[in-house]
Amino acid sequence: MSPVCPLLLLILAQLAVAAQPEPVTTILERVATAAKQVGALRVTFQQEKHLAILDEPLITTGSIEIDRVNGLLRWQYDRGPVLILAAGRVKRWGADGKAESAGDDPALQAMAGQMKALTSGDWKPLQELFTMEVGHGPDHLLLRPRGVGMTAYIEYVEIAFRTDGSPNTLVLAAPGGDRTTYTFAMPDPAWKPDPSRFAGP
Amino acid sequence: MVKSSAIVAAIIALVALAVTGVARLDSDLTGMIPAADVPLAREARFFSGMGAIRVLMVEAEVTSPSADPRTTLQSIVTRLAPLGAHPARDNGIEGVAHTMQVVAAHLPEFLTAEDLAETEAGMSAEALSQRLKDLRERLQRPDDWLTATAARQDVLSLTARVLQHFSVGPVGARPDGAFFTMPDGQHMVLRLDVDFPPDDVGRGQPLLAALKQEASIAASHGVHLRWAGSYRHYVENADTIQSDLMATIPLEVLLVGLVIWTLVRSWRAMLVIHLPVVGSVVGAMAGACVWSLVTGRPVPMAMIGATAGILGIAVDYGAHAVVGAQEGRRCVKQLLLGFLTTGAAFICLFFSLVPALQCLGAMVVTGLGTALLSTMLVPGGRIPPPRREPVWNRIGASTNRLLQRQRRSCLLIATIMTLATLPGLWRLHFESDIKTFDGSTAQAWDDLEVIIQRWGTPDSSTFIVAHGDSPDAALAAAAATRARLGLGPGLLERLVPDLAEQARRREAWNVFWTRHADFPAKFAEACRSNGLRPEAFAPSLAAYHVVTQSRDPITPESWTGSPISAALTPLLHRDGTGWIAASPLPLSGQAALDLMERLPGDSPGWIANRTDLGKRIVSAVQHDLTSLIPMIVAAVVIVMTLAVRAWRPAVAMLLPPALALVWAFGIQGWMGLPLTPFSLLAVTFVLGIGIDSAVFLNAGSWSMSAILVAWLTTLLGTATLLLANHPVVWSLGVSLSIGMTAAFVATLLVTPALSRPAASPAPPA
């Protein structure tokens, strides 16, 4: 064997290590650390639903307001419903401002976990329901359901984070081609939380 | 040397047997049930196999407008989880999704004819179009993430139709995560499953203590907490008994010790007097062990209470033996006669059909026998007489003189007392409310009542039970029994229908879809008219078609891995003989009893009712005990007659305990105190000490001081029980105090009056 070969192998190995994606724990820790720097923020988003049973996508916009100090989140669709996460529970108001029961809606419960993660910046608790791996980019977190039950309704959730730890996009994919994509604008860290915004519409 | 070795060997053997007896203790209810009462024994075995209800219900009531009961209950969930209590409803999304998957995979087997009839109404072209229009409208909601995916898999929501039958929450309440909320918004409830059984008081105490602390915190936030479940009753009973023992035992020991000291005035004598006491406890447990080994049954835990009575009689033996030894007398003959008569009464319990009573008989006979043998170890010459004459000797002597002088008056008083107390016997009644034996706080019962009224019983207490060689045979028998009673399928029949029923449902499903063979075409048209893509609903259309009968059926294993599995396990389980299906009935109390009455005799299943079981067991034991009374009386009379061979002393010794029982129960009748198994237990005490006192008094006036002290120590011991808060301990104290006093007074009034005068033997030189 030529003496060049071991050297080549060594270089290739080095390259392989350099190209290896960021481990999940590193992403989670970086996101959590970044979240701790910001006590409150407001971010606008666009939601694009591509459903297999519809020809056209359903596009809506909205905003998310987070008070990390008090563990509060307001998720509002423009001219649409308002969801408020407080004390670990999600309350819902319809577009008409009327409070609606949200207690036993499994879909809302599924989203509640992600809302809590957004609020705290700690995505680790989601590991109870999902396996986590690095997604299609170095800052992409790919979540797949652990249980056989959920796989019928959720194929995967992929979150792409910015370098500052804030989410850039979130994709919720279901078997059969249903896909909802959130694209988040840059957060407004100067935003000051107003307690009344987390009490109701 | 040989004699000492034999005694040591006997002691070691007895201790070993006693330890084995303790190890064979069991709280299993079947030991309390007459062997001949097959249905009751079967029911007790069933509930024993099902285990105790491991549920704790916690209710939060809003008392302030700003209160948040959910936060309070959430805090309780977090606080109690490390202590072994967890929310029962697994409403986690994975649990729900898994359950939906199981149902979706077996729709033809889960849907009943009624379900299909209801589905029929939505199969017209107009109805389908309206359904899809509603779906499209729903999809416009931006925060709806899963409806489209779920609708593609089951557009007619047949899975949801099945799942609605699995809801086991309180009627009228809305499920809210791990909680249920009443429509008034003021009340929420949390149902907790507990990892350990209710009789594990050691783990129950910290659980309840944590709840109490949470209640204090909640009160300051405008939330009133209530909680109910067996755990509360077990812990509160244990706490009450513990505080009762702390309050009574030191006082009892002090008073009894003082009285005995005034009689014997010697530390050595004080120690020796307790030899029969230790012997009786060891002997009683050894007897229980032998009984257990012979019958192959465990030792019933409740019988441990009998050792208190045996112990009291043993103290009596000790007092007589020591006083006799101090005076240089051997009173073996009197002790033997007392033992033989009491033993004869309890040997009759061997003929009882109740295993626990047989065990009691063995315990009393061996316990008192060992106590008697222990008195033989009292070293006669080594216990010096007291330096100063005990005050009891003077009291005894003057009492003797009085009784000898007033024989007729004594008999007259005894007659008057008998006539006065006799009508009380007709006023006696057995306690029918088993709740009165409970030492829980009034608050515990109030909370239970409020929770049951608002939310229903914590768990089903009534079941249709059916047996079979296989799970399916048991399920089919349970379903058939429900049908005989005109009841629809219950939770068990809905979760795992028997195979024949599944075949019927598949047949109905096939008929349905044959009739709706045009469904795909009609549905595609409805989709197009609502702007939906029909091909996206391919999973639904693949599920809605005729199936073969050879499909995999629903079995208990179908639910493996889902939250339903844990709920199903106790409802369909194996015992030694085969499979048992337990179909819960939402009934309790009188409604359950009425249903039991209605059940046809040839039904393949039977009804088990937990709420009424305790009452029926107590009634069965009382009936058995009552039927043995003539035999006990006959045995005692025969032994006494054979032993003394003269009617006058026999009557002088037998009449006092008999009169004591009449007086004691007559007084209880006049006082309105009901009879309980515990007051019947007190009879052992009254009979034993009553006979002993009469035997000794009949032997001569020399034993009067020991009789006085034995009575006083026993009375002091039992009277301290009146300080107890636990109803059972208190009622035992009342029964024993009345009974002991009656036995003492009857002995004093009757025995000297009927005995030959100057029967006292001269002490040996």
Cα–Cα distance for residue pair A144/A129, rounded to 1 Å: 8
Spell out which residues of chain A touch residue B147, defining contact as CB-CB under 8 Å: 107
Q: Is B762 on the interface with A (CB under 8 A)?
A: no
CB spacing of A58 vs B533 below 8 angstroms: no
Summarize the confidence of residues B21-47 as an average pLDDT.
73
Helix B391-405, helix B727-754: angle, nearest 10: 60
Token pair belonging to A67: 């008070």
Q: How many of the other CB atoms lie within 10 Å of CB of B71? A: 17
Least Cα separation, residue A29 to chain B (angstroms): 25
Question: Residue B285 pLDDT more than 90?
Answer: no
Cα–Cα distance for residue pair B737/B714, rounded to 1 Å: 8
Q: Is B93 on the interface with A (CB under 8 A)?
A: yes
For residue B225, the model assigns a pLDDT of: 94
The phi-psi region of residue B476 (left if phi > 0; otherwise alpha if psi is between -120 and 50; otherwise beta) is alpha
Q: Domains of chain B by range and CATH?
A: 2-26+234-436+613-754 (1.20.1640.10), 91-167+499-546 (no CATH)
Smallest Cβ–Cβ distance between A153 and the set B149, B531, B561 belongs to: B149
Residue B22 main-chain phi, psi, to 5 deg: -65, -40
Kindly list the distances between the CA atom of residue A187 and the CA atoms of A34, A158, B573, B623, in Å, as whole numbers in the listed order. 13, 19, 57, 81
CB spacing of A147 vs B94 below 8 angstroms: yes
Q: What percent of chain B has pLDDT over 70?
A: 92
Q: Is A175 on the interface with B (CB under 8 A)?
A: yes
User: pLDDT per residue over B377-427, tens digit each?
Assistant: 766 556 777 777 777 878 888 888 888 888 889 999 999 999 999 999 898
Smallest Cβ–Cβ distance between B536 and the set A53, A111, A145 belongs to: A53
Q: Is B240 on the interface with A (CB under 8 A)?
A: no
Token pair belonging to B477: 């028998």
A23 pLDDT tier (thresholds 50, 70, 90): confident
User: pLDDT per residue over A90-114, tens digit each?
Assistant: 788 888 888 776 555 656 666 677 7
For residue B683, the model assigns a pLDDT of: 75
Residues paired with A100 in a beta bridge: A92
Token pair belonging to B260: 């005995």
CB spacing of B93 vs A129 below 8 angstroms: yes
For residue A107, the model assigns a pLDDT of: 62
Token pair belonging to B633: 């009386």
CB spacing of B142 vs A60 below 8 angstroms: yes
Cα–Cα distance for residue pair B512/B116, rounded to 1 Å: 7
Q: Is B98 on the interface with A (CB under 8 A)?
A: yes
For residue B153, the model assigns a pLDDT of: 92
* Residue whose structure tokens are 């088990």: B608
Spell out which residues of chain B touch residue A111, defining contact as CB-CB under 8 Å: 143, 145
Those residues with Cβ within 8 angstroms of residue B563's Cβ, 6 or more apart along the chain or in another chain: B90, B95, B98, B99
Helix B407-427, helix B647-671: angle, nearest 10: 40
Residue B71: closest C-alpha in chain A: A87
Which B residues 159-188 touch A at CB under 8 Å? 174-177, 181
Token pair belonging to A85: 């996460």
For residue B338, the model assigns a pLDDT of: 86
Query: Comparing A23-37, A89-103, B229-243, B275-289, which segment has the lowest mean pLDDT?
Result: A89-103
User: pLDDT per residue over B617-630, tens digit each?
Assistant: 777 877 888 888 88
CB spacing of B148 vs A51 below 8 angstroms: yes
Cα–Cα distance for residue pair B592/B485, rounded to 1 Å: 12
CB pairs under 8 A between A and B: 128
Q: Tell me A137's DSSP state.
A: S
For residue B30, the model assigns a pLDDT of: 65
B541 pLDDT tier (thresholds 50, 70, 90): very high
Q: How many of the other CB atoms lie within 10 Å of CB of B577? A: 9
* Residue whose structure tokens are 């396990």: B569
For residue A2, the model assigns a pLDDT of: 39
Cα–Cα distance for residue pair B544/A125, rounded to 1 Å: 39
Burial B723-747 (b: 16+ CB within 10 A, else e): ebebbbbbbbbbbbbbbbbbbbbbb
CB spacing of A111 vs B99 below 8 angstroms: no
Q: Is A180 on the interface with B (CB under 8 A)?
A: yes
Q: Higher confidence at residue B208 or residue B729?
A: B208
Cα–Cα distance for residue pair B273/B257, rounded to 1 Å: 11
Least Cα separation, residue B598 to chain A (angstroms): 40
Coil, strand, or helix at residue B85?
strand
Question: Residue A3 pLDDT more than 60?
Answer: no
Q: Is A147 on the interface with B (CB under 8 A)?
A: yes
Residue A76: closest C-alpha in chain B: B143
CB spacing of B144 vs A107 below 8 angstroms: yes
Cα–Cα distance for residue pair B329/B263, rounded to 1 Å: 16
| CA torsion through residues A91, A96, A98, A100, sign | negative
Query: Mutation test of the interface with chain A: which of B137, B143, B152, B167, choosing the one with the most A Cβ atoms within 10 A?
Result: B143
Query: Comparing B436-450, B652-666, B683-697, which segment has the lowest mean pLDDT?
Result: B683-697
Query: Comparing B100-104, B311-315, B641-645, B702-706, which segment has the lowest mean pLDDT?
Result: B702-706
Residue B185: closest C-alpha in chain A: A101
Least Cα separation, residue A22 to chain B (angstroms): 29
Q: What ipTM does the predicted assembly reach?
A: 0.83
Model's pTM, two decimal places?
0.68
Summarize the confidence of residues B477-486 as an average pLDDT.
92
Question: Residue B765 pLDDT more than 50?
Answer: no
The H-assigned helical ranges of B432-547 are 442-455, 471-484, 491-495, 499-515, 519-529, 538-543
Helix or strand (DSSP H, E) at B47: helix B38-50
Q: Is B601 on the interface with A (CB under 8 A)?
A: no
Q: Is A149 on the interface with B (CB under 8 A)?
A: yes
CB spacing of B142 vs A81 below 8 angstroms: yes
User: pLDDT per residue over A123-166, tens digit each?
Assistant: 887 887 888 988 888 788 899 988 888 888 889 999 998 888 88
CB spacing of A62 vs B142 below 8 angstroms: yes
Q: Is B105 on the interface with A (CB under 8 A)?
A: no
Q: Is B70 on the interface with A (CB under 8 A)?
A: yes
A114, A56, A45: which is closest to A85 by C-alpha? A114
Question: Residue B226 pLDDT more than 90?
Answer: yes
CA B18 to chain centre: 24
Query: Comparing B12-16, B81-85, B234-238, B671-675, which segment has the lowest mean pLDDT?
Result: B12-16
Question: Mind spelling out the 3-state secondary structure of B86-152?
Answer: EECCCCCHHHHHHHHHHHHHCHHHHCCHHHHHHHHCCCCHHHHHHHHHHHHHHHCCCCCCCHHHHHH
Cα–Cα distance for residue pair B724/A78, rounded to 1 Å: 69
Q: Is A111 on the interface with B (CB under 8 A)?
A: yes
B131 pLDDT tier (thresholds 50, 70, 90): very high
Q: Is A48 on the interface with B (CB under 8 A)?
A: no
User: pLDDT per residue over B553-603, tens digit each?
Assistant: 999 999 887 878 877 888 888 877 889 999 988 776 677 778 888 888 888
